[in-house]
Amino acid sequence: MWTTPDLCDEHADDVDVVTGIHWHHYGAIRRFGGPVATVKCFEDNSRVKETLAEPGEGRVLVVDGGGSLRHALIGDLIAGKAKEMGWAGVIIHGACRDVEVLVEIDIGIIALGSTPIKSVRRGEGQAGIAISIGGVCFRPGDHVYADGNGIIRANKGLV
């Protein structure tokens, strides 16, 4: 089984490491990876909900939530749907909620923190665009790997 340190050692020239961010694991799966899908939004999870309702096919949704901890961009209902639709995980540069339930859902969920306040829904945000988090640019089709050591991005699948 892979770890991000091993992938960094074996593919040093092929990976970018997200730095300067303290992440928290909330889902039952603590090591996950796959092709990247992206959403950029701020306190409005409309695009997150729409994207995770589509077939995931083992992908990981990387969300640039602007680092806001005021409104959760994912909770138990959306995470449960994501698992049902075959997503491997969700990485949120923002907040989640329903953490007592998220830990029981077999999906990877990483976020900056949690809040009990739900998302506002204004239908805003963008999906399928390049986003930057922690000094790393994520594009749809890249590959991301996450575990307790950190988050890395590669142009292609490494495992």
Segment 58-90, tens digit of pLDDT? 999 999 999 999 999 999 999 999 999 999 999
| pLDDT at res. 9 | 97
Q: What is the pLDDT of residue 102?
A: 98
CATH of domain 4-154: 3.50.30.40
Query: Which pLDDT score is estimated for 120?
Result: 92
- What six digits make up the tokens of 72? 């959760």
Residue 69 has what pLDDT? 98
Q: Along the 159 residues of the chain, how does pLDDT read in single tens digits?
A: 999 999 999 999 999 999 999 999 999 999 999 999 999 999 999 999 999 999 999 999 999 999 999 999 999 999 999 999 999 999 999 999 999 999 999 999 999 999 999 999 999 999 999 999 999 999 999 999 999 999 999 999 999
Please report the pLDDT score of residue 124 as a whole number: 95
Residues 6+ apart with CB under 8 A from 154: 7, 11, 14, 15, 16, 142, 143, 144, 145
Per-residue pLDDT at 20: 92
Q: Both tokens of residue 58?
A: 């083992």
Residue 82: per-residue pLDDT: 98
